[in-house]
Amino acid sequence: MAVYLVTGAAGFIGANYVHHLLEWEPDATVVAVDYIGFAGNVANLDSVIDRVIFEKVDIADLEVMDALYRRHRPDFVVNFAAESHNDRAILGPSSFMRSNALGAQVMAECSRLVPVRSHVHVSTIEVYGELATGDQWFTERSPLNAKTPYSAAKAAGDQMVRAYMQTYPDMNLRLTHCANNYGPFQLPEKLIPLAVTNVLRGRKVPVYGDGLQSRDWLHVSDHCAAVHRVLHAELEPTPAAAATDPGLLPIFDISARCEVTNLEIARRVVTELGRNPDEWIEHIPDRPNHDRRYLIDPGKIESQLDWAPSHDFAEGIAATVAWYVEHHGWWEQIIAEKGELGFDWSRVGPAAQSH
């Protein structure tokens, strides 16, 4: 019976992965690790909590994590743990650096000291920075060019994982970058759940600037399936040429090839809720240093691992909106505990929206 160690397990993507993992492998032992930071929510695991071993642990604490590895002896490790909101990172970068950079190194080190069968470090499209005008997309060969505190912290973690890949080639480390995720259990500070919960409370949907920032959108279930595919893939040894060609490293970019602007996302959500977008969307001051456009090419994972997304975007958005409508209690409790999660950069920081 395989033992999985999943970090960030009470967060958005990590919780979805735990739910899917228990469907895919019902006999597996799942060690769900989360230190319950700002975006962590144990309620995300309520329906499966009796089927996992939950450990409230900080992945950046080497001594504690090493002891956890030795106690549970995982076969497979998936590191979803990260602070991930650009707005909060602008106001307080230090916690992002601890989780996203030091945490990535500690996890890799634990998998070196207590060897596992494979270890996936989950990263983000944003480490590549902003897509230049005229460029089609980023690939695994693109240089890391992060420009925000959040993405720079993730890029630092990536660099450590890449260094471990090449310094300790027998470790069987893998790394993924994903497009913007949407689906159940996403904290209502991100665009889609923020839009839904605002409208359901009689508030307009805030859109930064002109709303024409363009993103690559991926359903969280498709992302989870891709990560699982990478985790279990039989890969060839990394060739020496990877020293100068990162495309030869076990790195996989995950995307549904679905480019949509933030404004269009807001309009779709409002329409799904039966409102008129012209009346329920407002444009607010943009956040500092906001990436205009980024996309990634999933050709490598499609061709090498035979992965493809299964969720139609329009159907996926409709189902996501419906999930938040049906789970009032889940997000109402979050807002009661954390306060308003929208940001008003004209006032610098999170701000209650009174209209």
Q: How far is CA 71 from CA 3, 25, 57, 64, 340, in A?
A: 11, 21, 13, 11, 39
Q: Are strands 173-178 and 251-254 parallel, antiparallel or unpaired?
A: parallel
Evaluate whether 298 touches 230 at the Cβ level (below 8 Å): no
| Helical packing angle, 313-326 and 262-272, nearest 10° | 60
Residue 39 in contact with residue 88, Cβ under 8 Å?
Answer: no
How many of the other CB atoms lie within 10 Å of CB of 21? Answer: 25
Neighbours of 248 (CB within 10 A): 16
Per-residue pLDDT reduced to its tens digit, 162-181:
999 999 999 999 999 999 99
Helix 103-113 / helix 149-167 crossing angle, nearest 10 deg: 20
Residue 164 phi, psi dihedral angles, 5° rounding: -65, -40
pTM: 0.96
Residue 252 identity (one-letter amino acid): F
* All domains in the chain, ordered by first residue: 3-182+218-254 (3.40.50.720), 191-215+258-294+310-338 (3.90.25.10)
Tens of pLDDT along the chain (355 residues)?
899 999 999 999 999 999 999 999 999 999 999 999 989 999 999 999 999 999 999 999 999 999 999 999 999 999 999 988 888 888 888 889 999 999 999 999 999 999 999 999 999 999 999 999 889 999 999 999 998 999 999 999 999 999 999 999 999 999 999 999 999 999 999 999 999 999 999 999 999 999 999 999 999 999 999 999 999 999 999 999 999 999 999 999 999 999 999 999 999 999 999 999 999 999 999 888 888 989 999 999 999 999 999 999 999 999 999 999 999 999 999 999 998 888 887 776 555 443 3
In three-state secondary structure terms, 141 is: coil
Instruction: Say whether 336 sits in a helix, a strand or coil.
Output: helix
User: Which pLDDT score, from 0 to 100, does residue 68 have?
Assistant: 98
Reading the block at residue 289, the tokens are 């240093």
pLDDT at 283: 96
Which CA distances in Å does 314 have to 194, 226, 242, 311? Answer: 18, 20, 39, 9
Estimate to the nearest angstrom the gap between the alpha carbon of 153 and the chain centroid. 14
CA 351 – CA 259 distance, rounded (Å)? 29
Q: Are the C-beta atoms of residues 9 and 15 closer than 8 Å to each other?
A: yes
The sign one gets for the Cα dihedral 97, 103, 108, 109 is positive
CA 104, chain centre distance (Å): 14
Pairing of strands 259-261, 214-219: antiparallel
Question: Number of C-alpha atoms within 13 angstroms, CB side, residue 129?
Answer: 10
Structure token pair of residue 295: 């996309």
Round to whole Å and give the CA distance between 151 and 213.
17
Cβ-based neighbour number of residue 92 at 10 Å: 11
Q: Give CA separation, 301 vs 28, 125, 128, in Å.
A: 25, 15, 18
- What is residue 349's predicted lDDT score, i.e. its pLDDT? 57
112-142, pLDDT tens digit by residue? Answer: 999 999 999 999 999 999 999 889 999 999 9
pLDDT digits (tens, 9 = 90+) for 257-298: 999 999 999 999 999 999 999 999 999 998 888 889 899 999
Rounded distance, CA 70 to CA 90, Å? 36
Strand runs labelled E in 125-195: 173-178, 180-182
Identify the pLDDT of residue 353: 41
How confident is the model at residue 83, as a pLDDT? 87
DSSP helix, strand, coil percent of the chain (3-state; round to 5): 45, 15, 35
pLDDT above 70: percentage of residues in the chain: 98
